[in-house]
Structure 1
Amino acid sequence: MTAYVVIDLNIADPEGFQEYIDGVTPLIDKAGGRNLLIDGNALVLEGDWHPATLVIHQFESKAVLQRFWDSAEYQPLKELRRKYSTVKVVAGENA
């Protein structure tokens, strides 16, 4: 079942954050994931959620996503991401 990662991304330092993007993109590809959306101007239809940048990734399953998230390769990139941005991240799986 396909899993989707929804990220509410707020970048504090675009130049520093580019280092994270350069490192994480090949890891997402390696895990079979793909980037579906990056939108810095998401349309809020209802409610009070206003993501600075809305990001959606797709993975084969939650299990594949979890392996990527927990991988030793991704851990230092998480720290880099935290240095240059703040995020809220949720995942769901299509039944």
Structure 2
Amino acid sequence: MPGYLIFEIEVTDEVAWAHYREVAGPIMAASGGRFVLSSDRIESLEGGWRPASISVVEFPTAEDARRFYHSADYQNVVALRQLASCGKGILVDA
């Protein structure tokens, strides 16, 4: 069953964010991840949740998503994401 990484992201530095995406994208793809969606067109319906943007990345399994996130390759670029944005992330095992 697929696993999903879901991130609520507010980009704070567009240049650093572009660099992060250049570096992180190939690592994610090599780990079997693919974007299901990434959007800043969000309408709050309940609870006052107003994320700046949402990204959903699908992996073949939750273990693949976990392995990607905790991999040395990805952990080496997490600081780039944190420099370029603030946010929250979860792993969903479908």
TM-score range, shorter chain: over 0.9
Deviations for 1:15-38, whole angstroms, at most 9, x for unmatched residues?
111110001111111011100111
User: Aligned residue for 1:22?
Assistant: 22
1:39 and 2:28 equivalent?
Answer: no
Cα RMSD, aligned residues only: 0.9
Q: What letter is aligned with 1:40?
A: D
Say which SS state the counterpart of residue 24 (structure 1) adopts. Answer: helix
User: Aligned residue for 2:84?
Assistant: 84
* TM-score (normalised: structure 2): 0.94
| Structure 2: stretches of 5+ with no match in the other structure | none
Whether contact under 8 Å (2:38, 2:55) holds in the other structure is yes
Which range moved further: 10-19 or 39-48?
A: 39-48
What does 1:62-77 correspond to in 2, within 5 Å? 62-77=62-77
Q: When the two structures are aligned, how many residues end up with a matched partner?
A: 94
Could you list the runs of 4 or more consecutive aligned residues of structure 1 that deviate by over 4 angstroms after TM superposition?
none
Q: Distance between the aligned counterparts of 2:71 and 2:14, measured in 1?
A: 25
Deviations for 1:11-58, whole angstroms, at most 9, x for unmatched residues?
000111111000111111101110011111212221111110111110
| Structure 1: stretches of 5+ with no match in the other structure | none
Q: Distance between the aligned counterparts of 2:10 and 2:17, measured in 1?
A: 10
Among the aligned pairs, what percent are the same residue? Answer: 28
